[in-house]
A and B are shown apart, each in its own frame.
Chain A
Amino acid sequence: MFWKNILLIPIVFVTLAFSRNKENQVKVDFSGYDRDLTSINWNGVAVDFSTVNKAAFDSGYIEIQDLVVISELSSSSQIKITATHAGWSTLPTGYSGNKTATSGDVQIFVDNLASLSAYSGSDFSSTYTDITDSGNNIIESSGSVSGATGDINARILLDWADDTKGSYNLSLQFTVTNY
């Protein structure tokens, strides 16, 4: 008990001393991580499969220029854009081609990129390239950007023998994320 009191005395003394010195001050410390901020203005167009014709089958695809147009992208940090094949939810009865409920027959090509580039190591700016249901990184920035633009184009592959007449429904997802 005696030793406890002996130790308590200097602690109380020091605390009181500091309290007296700062009794008229208020200190607020701001700290934290500056979060990634990304603003993107982009729009996609719907694909109408009823426009498929002989010429499309002969070409092996329908091509949708400017499927998604990025009219303004600004970010406080490096970003990437991912294209994900969300599958063919509707196919004709008896369909047996490459299109499936999860993937198949969609290719992406990016162009008119300003302050952006095709994702490093990918071919998305040089040729139409397949995308999958697991997602493909197609575009990236080298760092923070302001007012970046670009176009995303698509080809839906067609096969004379397999892509029979009937109803089709396809979903694609485009996502922007920070590194």
Chain B
Amino acid sequence: MIIFKQISKLFIIMSFLCADTDADVAVTGTGAIPFCASWETTTTAPDFSTVNMAAYDTDELIFTNIIAVTDFDANYAFNITATKGTWTLPTGYLGTKQANGSDSDFLIIVNNITAGYDSDGLAAANSHSAYQAAVTGGAVIASGGTTSGSGSAHGVENASFDMDGKLLLDWDTDIPGTYTLAITITVASQ
């Protein structure tokens, strides 16, 4: 027993003798990465001055790529919401378009989608792969990614899509004059 104690002491002494070096440095990284989303867009404002007889005859005029999202990235599941503004209408207008935007005369569709992820990428939501009336309260037109609850959370990268608009027209009530309307899209985390 004594021999072992002596040997232990010897090893301890030797270890002190072998080197003498200052302490290591430990670096830590902590914190919560926030929801981040990025997009590059081009817009083409619908020009109501292009309305013509053919448009009245077909009861509609389509405006393509009113918003083109050419590069969309998000680091978590997301919703893209489109919100219609209010109408500016000609004096004496009596048609279905409502100044407060509560009408269904402007419709939107999401198409030309690049998902940006193998599965659960960006996709049209709430039937916006077909024309749906834009609403002032906002409607989710596209979504993607998956949430933590799915067991495999992810976002998307290099996704893209276009949003087209359709203006409904009526020979009787859509009289000449100035019409304006705004559509806004926003992105938020699920």
In the complex where A92-B153, A93-B148, A94-B153 touch, is A163 in contact with B33 (Cβ < 8 A)?
Answer: yes
Q: Mark B37-75, 1 if CB is under 8 A from A, else 0.
A: 110000000000000000000000000000000000111
Whether A92 contacts B154 by the Cβ 8 Å rule is: no
B27 within 8 A of A: yes
| Residue tally, chain A, CB below 8 Å to B | 56
Whether A38 contacts B21 by the Cβ 8 Å rule is: yes
Docked CA distance A41–B22 (Å): 8
Q: Which positions 25-40 of chain A face chain B at CB distance < 8 Å?
A: 32-33, 35-40
In the complex where A37-B19, A161-B157, A164-B76 touch, is A46 in contact with B150 (Cβ < 8 A)?
Answer: no
Residue of A nearest to B18 (CB): A35
* B interface, size bucket: 35 or more
Residue of B nearest to A169 (CB): B30
B52 → chain A, closest Cβ, in Å?
Answer: 42
Whether A50 contacts B33 by the Cβ 8 Å rule is: yes
Whether B27 contacts A92 by the Cβ 8 Å rule is: no
CB < 8 Å neighbour of A178 from B19, B36, B37, B75: B19
Whether A164 contacts B154 by the Cβ 8 Å rule is: yes
A58, A160, A162, A168 interface centre (most CB from chain B within 10 Å) = A160
In the complex where A57-B36, A57-B75, A94-B151 touch, is A48 in contact with B31 (Cβ < 8 A)?
Answer: yes
Whether B22 contacts A40 by the Cβ 8 Å rule is: yes
Contacts of B116 in A (CB 8 A): 161
Whether B30 contacts A46 by the Cβ 8 Å rule is: yes
Docked CA distance A177–B33 (Å): 35
Residue of A nearest to B158 (CB): A160
Whether B27 contacts A171 by the Cβ 8 Å rule is: yes
Chain A interface (Cβ within 8 Å of chain B)? 32-33, 35-54, 57-58, 67-68, 86, 90, 92-97, 154, 156, 159-178
5 more contacts with CB within 8 A, not counting A43-B25, A52-B34, A169-B30, are A46-B28, A49-B31, A94-B149, A167-B30, A174-B26
Chain B interface (Cβ within 8 Å of chain A)? 17-22, 24-38, 73-76, 116-117, 145-157, 189
